[in-house]
């Protein structure tokens, strides 16, 4: 039996998540988010969640692929430096409290309010609103439940998620006003160094796991693939190395990537490479990415070779998370007026196949 020691802490709590939507994290996930999660483990009481419920909102993957991707992203988070003893690392679907609280919050959300979420419009633009699952429409509310369950003080968010955090704050305040103080109202946390990485082929869009392969550097890419993708990155014709995200988005993106791996700033990297050709800069960027990605992929491979250990780590994380989420959910359900479950505890025993179910068994 696993014994969980609950340690009370005076640190502020932070919550963040990543979707297992591809066969690997991409560079932007790491430089824009995960790298900061690693730093935040010590400063904050940190909860990090692999949000697999969110990963079926668009084009649900094959079940086996989803299971494997969930293990891959877990292994990559560990390879990046998350330490399960210094944070809670868990999978969203392991805690029924997420959809449980989400339902209550859905009932507190106006249809028009949900309809104003621009991400729904953006993400459904390609195939049309009528062809989307309702889950894509309501996912910002599930996201609110993900955050509020943990009484998080801070949520690291990029610009694209700001509107969803606003909805989370609104729902927390609405619930607290109606039913009494229950949820911490979370604030956005802007990390000191959070780079937004753009698609190498289409630098007007952010790099994404699910965008076309050539513009995305996956952290599982081998060195030759990384070099090829960076060599082919879209830049511009004037040949001048200058950090100017408006006029030179492709080149500035390369400077940002180089700076992120060399603890510098894009402007300083531009100065360092001034007067040299784009080819020279691209080679240096590829070298910097490979110096990180190669050992990272090796470490990820080692972790993936032991799926039982990954599952054990996730079970440990779920137990840590449940200690907080369950208390919040029980409190919220009681405040809403749901009768608490009572009577004999539910049994998980199942009747033998084809056997008789005892009259008093609870399913």
| Region binding ligand AQP by CB under 6 A among candidate stretches 28-36, 107-115, 260-268, 321-329 | 28-36
The yes or no reply on residue 35 touching ligand AQP (CB under 6 A) is no
Q: How far apart are alpha carbons 147 and 183 in whole angstroms?
A: 10
Among 33, 38, 104, 105, binds ligand AQP (CB under 6 A): 33
For residues 174 and 211, which CB has a smaller minimum distance to ligand AQP in the complex? 211
For residues 27 and 304, which CB has a smaller minimum distance to ligand AQP in the complex? 27
State the minimum distance, in angstroms, from the CB of residue 299 to ligand AQP. 20
State the minimum distance, in angstroms, from the CB of residue 172 to ligand AQP. 20
Contacts of 362 (CB under 8 A, 6+ apart): 344, 346, 347
Other beta carbons within 10 angstroms of residue 135's beta carbon come to 14
Tell me the longest C-alpha to C-alpha distance in the chain.
83
What 3-state DSSP class applies to 140? helix
| Catalytic residue of the set 121, 196, 209, 320 | 209
Cβ atoms of 25 and 18 within 8 Å: the answer is yes
The yes or no reply on residue 21 touching ligand AQP (CB under 6 A) is yes
Other beta carbons within 10 angstroms of residue 307's beta carbon come to 14
Nearest to 33 by CA among 225, 214, 207: 207
Among 101, 197, 285, 290, binds ligand AQP (CB under 6 A): 197
Binding to ligand AQP (CB under 6 A) within 139-168 occurs at 158
Q: Which stretches of the chain are DSSP H helices? A: 27-29, 35-43, 63-80, 97-107, 111-115, 118-124, 134-148, 162-179, 223-231, 249-262, 266-273, 278-304, 307-336
- 282 labelled catalytic: no
- What phi and psi, each to the nearest 5 degrees, are found at residue 201? -95, -25
The yes or no reply on residue 326 touching ligand AQP (CB under 6 A) is no
| Catalytic residue of the set 121, 123, 192, 231 | 123
The yes or no reply on residue 61 touching ligand AQP (CB under 6 A) is no
Residue at shortest CB range from ligand AQP: 32
Residues that bind ligand AQP (CB under 6 A): 17-19, 21, 26, 28-29, 32-33, 158, 196-197, 206-210
By annotation, the residues acting in catalysis are 123, 206, 209
């Amino acid at each position: 039996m696993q014994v969980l020691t609950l340690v009370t802490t005076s640190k502020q709590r932070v919550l963040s998540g990543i979707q297992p939507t591809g066969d690997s994290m991409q560079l932007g996930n790491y430089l824009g988010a995960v790298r900061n999660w690693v730093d935040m483990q010590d400063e904050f009481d940190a909860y990090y969640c692999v949000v697999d419920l969110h990963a079926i909102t668009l084009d649900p993957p094959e079940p086996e692929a989803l299971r494997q991707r969930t293990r891959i992203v877990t292994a990559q988070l560990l390879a990046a430096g998350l330490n399960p003893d210094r944070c809670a690392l868990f999978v969203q679907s392991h805690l029924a409290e997420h959809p449980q609280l989400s339902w209550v919050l859905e009932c507190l959300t106006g249809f028009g309010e949900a309809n104003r979420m621009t991400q729904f419009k953006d993400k459904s633009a390609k195939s049309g609103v009528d062809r989307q699952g309702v889950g894509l429409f309501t996912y910002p509310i599930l996201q609110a439940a993900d955050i509020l369950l943990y009484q998080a003080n801070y949520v690291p968010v990029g610009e694209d998620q700001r509107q969803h955090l606003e909805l989370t704050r609104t729902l927390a305040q609405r619930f607290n006003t109606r039913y009494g103080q229950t949820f911490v109202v979370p604030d956005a946390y802007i990390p000191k160094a959070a780079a937004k990485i753009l698609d190498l082929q289409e630098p007007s869009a952010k790099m994404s796991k699910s965008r076309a392969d050539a513009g995305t550097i996956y952290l599982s890419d081998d060195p030759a693939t990384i070099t090829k993708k960076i060599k082919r990155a879209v830049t511009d014709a004037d040949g001048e190395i200058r950090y100017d995200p408006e006029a030179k988005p492709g080149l500035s993106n390369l400077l940002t990537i180089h700076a992120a791996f060399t603890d510098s700033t894009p402007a300083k990297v531009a100065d360092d490479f001034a007067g040299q050709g784009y080819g020279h800069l691209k080679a240096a960027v590829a070298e910097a990415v490979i110096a990180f990605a190669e050992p990272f992929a090796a470490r990820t491979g080692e972790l993936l070779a032991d799926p039982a250990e990954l599952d054990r780590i996730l079970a440990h994380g779920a137990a840590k998370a449940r200690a907080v989420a369950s208390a919040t959910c029980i409190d919220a359900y009681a405040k809403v007026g749901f009768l608490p479950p009572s009577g004999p505890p539910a049994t998980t025993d199942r009747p033998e196949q084809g056997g008789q179910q005892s009259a008093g068994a609870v399913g």
